[in-house]
Amino acid sequence: MKIQPSAQRHSSSAIRATGIIALVCMALLFAALAASINTKPYMPPNVAQRYMEHWLIESSRQVAGEVRLKHVRAIEPFYLRRDYQPVWMDSFEITDAGRELLQALRETAADDWRNYGYELPVLEREASRLSNIPKQATAVDVLLTDAFVTYAKQVLNSELLPDLNEGDHPIRRVASSSQDRLTANGISEERIVELLHESINRGELEHLIEQLTPSHPGYLQLRNELNRYRDIANSGLWYPLPADLSLQPGERHRQVPQLRWMLSQYGDLKKGALAWLFAEDKTLTQAPLEGEAVDLSQPQFLFDDALQQAVSYFQQRHQLPADGLISAETLQTLNIPPYQIAQRIAHNMKRWRHLPEHLGQRYVMVNMADYRLQLVDGGSTELDMKVIIGNAQRRTPVMAQTISTLELAPTWSVPRRIAVTSLLPKIKRNPDYLREKGYQVIGRVDGVDKFISPDDINWSRLSANYFPYRLIQKAGDDNALGTIKFLFPNDRDIYLHDTSQPELFNLDKRALSSGCVRVEQPRLLAEKLLRGQQGWNRHAIDSAIEQTRTTRIRLQEQVPVYLMYWTTWVDDKGALQIRDDVYKRDLIAGLPPSNPEA
């Protein structure tokens, strides 16, 4: 039977329509699948409320199965005011503010100085395995809020400034609002929770976390290095090199791949210009297993020029002789475990809390551990010079002050402790010592201060317990303060000054003074600080000094000065610098806490 053309046309149209419908359905199906993939799981408010109430009311002593909340009495009313809705969670994901808080907790606790009470192991565990389980997500939120209150109390009560009872730790204050500046004395958990509530209402939760954490570039650079060394420590690949390892250029050793791996992780072994184009040959950084037979003629076992250069970079960063050779001192430094370096980095990060948020357009920065002073202007280093700091018995304190006055050709009023401990023994040995060094003696006569001849004093009768005199050294070449001193207000009688012993700047270790900071180029520093001040150019400065004419000059523009102690910092080239802990202040890392959290 012959099919009519009209029937054929209807049949073809039906087939096309069916095909189109099928394509549309498939497109809709793929769109639905894509939408489901990109759609975040949602936690309904009533579900969040139910589990929040569970953790805060029924199970506050066993959050996530084991944590007893420290601040439940303060945070339960806080959650009640917000209908028990999460603070740090967006349904089942941690918010940006929550991640910032976690980072702050990690870097604060990383020095292991004390038990900080953040319950970080549980927090990290629960955060790492978050899934679409409301009970778990709300537990993380409650734990973060409890940890926040602990952390904020520590910051605002200055508990994060390690204090060795030196009285040298200024307080960093944090503003809670434009009307209110929080004091650092005993702020309560209720006030902190109120601060948290206010910040959420203003949409400034992330800003609050930032306020509680130093924002200086130096702090943030150390944060990156802290993460680097924690990653190395957690990699499971680090182990110390053999204690008897000795390498000369061109030699071969089975541990060379491990040395290469260590230096590449630390950032000392620079990658080649085309490293991005070729995959790294992992055999170069994989040490053989113990007892494994190896062919030392293979390239990975060669102590080559690139590796020697990397060792030299490592030595420079640690202020070791930069010869590129594996000396005993270099090997000992290489074998310091990365977790200990991470502890020191975290500890030094806390030292940034001594400083104000803005250091000033122009300031003087002294790093005692590096024995150096820098004059910084607009973020650029204008001067860089050596300094001499206090010895182990008379340590220079950490201090943030302002240079207000310069004194040219200064006299020196000798502090009593120096007079009786340092000068009195010299005077007893040599009766002419005072006259030779230009000292004058002042004593009380009939209730009036008068100059007394050293010859009229029986020095043998004097001691640390009985010394009724004051000593003043006249300006001149022998004056212990040298030609200039730089004054800033403090109750420790600390200042910057010149020295009559410039040869001491040739030493590498320069913890030699009685507490003040001696500067290598005092006249140049004075010239820079007096820049633009009428009548005080370099010629005028030199003239006053040469005439031993004691002159006080008040700076028209006072300059902040920071006496700091950093044993780790990141330099202008982005390299982590590490120095000896000359004052043994880093040793508190790892000690049992003196006031652990209950």
Task: Indicate whether 205 and 249 sit together in one domain.
Answer: no
**Angle at CA of residue 84, ends 82 and 88, nearest 5°:** 85
List, for residues 272-310, the tens digit of each pLDDT value.
Answer: 643 444 445 666 777 777 778 888 889 899 999 999 999
- Check whether 471 has a pLDDT greater than 90: yes
Could you identify the residue written with the tokens 């357009």? 361
Q: Is residue 370 part of a domain?
A: yes
Task: Give the per-residue pLDDT at 432.
Answer: 93
Residue 25 catalytic? no
3-state secondary structure of 106: helix
Give the active site residue among 253, 318, 347, 516: 516
Among 402, 400, 424, 401, CA closest to 414:
424
Exposure of 509 in the CB half-sphere (CA atoms within 13 A):
8
Q: Is residue 133 part of a domain?
A: yes
* Helix segments in 235-337, DSSP class H: 256-266, 305-317, 328-334
- Check whether 570 has a pLDDT greater than 70: yes
Task: Indicate whether 440 and 511 sit together in one domain.
Answer: yes
- Check whether 112 has a pLDDT greater than 50: yes
Exposure of 563 in the CB half-sphere (CA atoms within 13 A):
26
Task: Give the per-residue pLDDT at 311.
Answer: 97
Task: Indicate whether 426 and 320 sit together in one domain.
Answer: no
Domain range for 464: 360-573
CA distance 128 to 368: 41
Task: Indicate whether 84 and 152 sit together in one domain.
Answer: yes
Across-strand partners of 386? 372
Q: Is residue 169 part of a domain?
A: no
Task: Indicate whether 201 and 262 sit together in one domain.
Answer: no
Average pLDDT over residues 327-338: 96
Task: Indicate whether 485 and 364 sit together in one domain.
Answer: yes
Task: Indicate whether 410 and 521 sit together in one domain.
Answer: yes
CA distance 45 to 79: 13
**Total-model pTM:** 0.84
Q: Is residue 477 part of a domain?
A: yes
Task: Indicate whether 316 and 425 sit together in one domain.
Answer: no
What is the number of domains present in the chain? 3
CATH number at residue 415: 2.40.440.10
Give the active site residue among 10, 169, 497, 539: 497
CATH number at residue 293: 1.10.101
Measure Cα distances from 77 to 13, 54, 57, 105 in Å. 69, 14, 11, 24
Task: Indicate whether 490 and 564 sit together in one domain.
Answer: yes
Domain end marker among 279, 303, 336: 336
Task: Indicate whether 437 and 469 sit together in one domain.
Answer: yes
Q: Is residue 234 part of a domain?
A: no
Q: Is residue 394 part of a domain?
A: yes
Q: Is residue 343 part of a domain?
A: no
Q: Is residue 51 part of a domain?
A: yes
Task: Give the per-residue pLDDT at 576.
Answer: 98
Task: Indicate whether 560 and 420 sit together in one domain.
Answer: yes
Task: Indicate whether 497 and 549 sit together in one domain.
Answer: yes
